Amino acid sequence: MTARTYLEPLCLLSGPAAAAAIAEGSGLPFGADRAFLHARLFRRDGDAVTEQLVAAPALHGRAELAPALVGLAAPVGPLRIMGIVNVTPDSFSDGGRWFDEEQAIAHGLSLAEAGADMLDVGGESTRPGSLPVPVEEEIRRVVGVVKALADRGLTVSIDTRNAATMAAALAAGAAIVNDVTALRHDPDAMRVVADAGCPVVLMHSQGEPQTMQVDPRYRRACLDVFDHLAERVAACLDAGIAKARIILDPGLGFGKLAAHSLDVLQHLALLRTLGCPVLLGASRKSMIAKVSAQKDLPPADRLPGSLALAQAGVARGASIVRVHDVAETRQALALAEAVDTAA
């Protein structure tokens, strides 16, 4: 493997403090309205990884870091909340609650009322241990829900790894494709997204849902996830999908133990050097129970941990959070943002 340097921005500022740091030369741009004062440089050569902390101004003039700095400066839009609508009998948190089409539509409307900026509709559970759903059944589950929500003027994402489901949902009014396999599962998926010209969420995952948590392994999780998503971005660009339409999801819990997910989340800002918005899906995940030493804590009781992870992700550059609890997440993030941007 060729040696590679990775840039992780540190000491992020928002609001007037960010503008002042950029103006005086002590900080560099992080999106349109934030700045970073320092950086961690990872250097990986084979299995050896070294780290170096540097002040942001010291990054100027380093040719190997120029693409990363351009990526960090790219605007990613305002903070947005994606509400989860699982039209499934077996999703890990709310499987069966919204399996009826009318109930799923009502749930989506309630999430929009609570402040969701977009709704992610899925008809196949990809939780650990889940089995595949026939594509025809997946389409049957989601198309009516997608159409009903889109017809009400709501922004709908279709959560699927199957090209036929993507096409059917887009025809019904979906505006975004969210693929847990980063368009790798179905050979026709890349073409469907490219032809549609729609935004796409590329998520990192390792293995298949049935077995992905059995024995996941990484050389260094945060860097391996970065490399995988960088390769998927390049593949999308080659297929005619514009970078402005690509969103990245590190895939917490998808082929990752809790320690892997924590490493990825701690260094989440690495992904922003690819110049794309970052989506974080940590809501109610099992890592909350494991990290808090409450191994039997059911998903519905993981709201405090979900809010903590959402705040940690946004603090490290995520601009979209995918959640079950929209109103609570919006309130928590609004307060965190108010603190960060106070003059």
In a shared domain, residues 195 and 304: yes
Structural domain including 145 reads 80-341
Of 230, 227, 224, the residue nearest 243 (C-alpha): 230
Q: Given 69, 94, 122, which residue is the final one in a domain?
A: 69
Alpha carbon of 252 to those of 95, 227, 243: distances in Å?
A: 19, 16, 23
Does 282 reside within a domain?
A: yes
Instruction: Locate 237 and state its tokens.
Output: 């660009």
Same domain? For 115 and 207 the reply is: yes
Q: Is residue 75 part of a domain?
A: no
Annotate 62-88 with b (16+ C-beta within 10 A) or e (fewer). eeebeebbebbbbebeebbbbbbbbbb
CA atoms within 13 A on the CB side of 39: 28
Q: Domain end: 17, 49, 69, which one?
A: 69
In degrees and rounded to multiples of 5, residue 149 shows phi and psi of -75, -40
| Co-location of 9 and 142 in the same domain | no
Q: What's the whole-number mean pLDDT along residues 116-141? A: 89
Provide, rounded to the nearest whole percent, the portion of the chain with pLDDT above 90. 85
Domain boundary among the residues 13, 37, 69 is at: 69
pLDDT of 342 reads 82
* Section 205-221 average pLDDT: 80
Same domain, 142 and 39: no
d(CA 135, CA 161): 10
287 belongs to a structural domain: yes
Annotated active-site positions, please? 285, 322
CB atoms within 10 A of CB 296: 6
Q: Which residues pair with 39 in a beta bridge?
A: 9, 54
Report DSSP state, residue 130.
P
Q: Is the domain of 204 the same as that of 327?
A: yes
In a domain, 96, yes or no: yes
β-pairing, 246-249 with 200-203? Answer: parallel
Give the mean model confidence (pLDDT) for residues 241-252: 97
For residues 54 and 114, membership in a common domain is answered with no
Task: Say which CATH number the domain at 329 has.
Answer: 3.20.20.20
More confident residue, 128 or 2: 2
The string of pLDDT tens digits covering residues 131-154 is 788 999 999 999 999 999 999 999
Q: Which amino acid is at 91?
A: S
Is residue 252 situated within a structural domain? yes
The pLDDT value given to residue 212: 63
86: tokens are: 């699982």
Residues 84 and 154 in one domain: yes
Mean pLDDT, the chain, as a whole number?
Answer: 93
Same domain assignment for residues 106 and 248:
yes
Strands 118-122 and 176-179: unpaired
For residues 205 and 302, membership in a common domain is answered with yes
- In the chain, how many domains are there? 2
175, 234: one domain: yes
Q: Is residue 232 part of a domain?
A: yes
- Do 196 and 322 lie in one domain? The reply is yes
The answer to the question of residue 285 being in a domain is yes
Q: Do residues 143 and 99 both lie within one domain? A: yes
Report the distance separating Cα 38 and Cα 179, nearest Å: 33
Distances (CA, A) of 87 to 7, 110, 270, 309, 320: 39, 15, 33, 25, 21
Say if 74 falls within a structural domain.
no
